[in-house]
Amino acid sequence: MITKLAFAVFLLSNSVAIAADRMPPPGSYGFNWLDAASHCKKLTVKDLAPVSKCTLSTNAFGLELESHVCKVNKHVELMVYKTAAQCQEALETMQANGP
């Protein structure tokens, strides 16, 4: 019985850690890639609160940078990076390849 309980606690703690990895922390940098006029900004807790889902990416826009793609609604999808420089590089690459 104790081993089943320990296993359940282990699974629960891992699922919480996995979910936390998918949500970028406040202080990350991002832009709305669905808006051509968007710019990189340091994201706050308030900016990230409406996010409904994030997925990890390692090659957005052809760049080998780890990022999060975070959906807010049908008009806002944030590309989120660890640093301002990574964010700016992704934004400029996106803009250079746009229509």
Backbone angles phi, psi at 53, to 5 degrees: -165, 140
> Number of folded domains in the chain?
1
Distance (Å) of CA 50 to CA 2, 30, 60, 70: 39, 14, 22, 10
Look at residues 94, 89, 68 and name the one whose alpha carbon lies nearest to residue 80.
68
pLDDT tens, position by position, 56-91: 999 888 899 999 999 999 999 999 999 999 999 999
Q: Which amino acid is at 95?
A: Q
**What's the pTM value of the predicted model, to 2 decimals?**
0.76
pLDDT tens, position by position, 1-55: 455 544 444 444 333 333 445 899 999 999 999 998 999 999 999 999 999 999 9
Domain of 38? Answer: 2-96
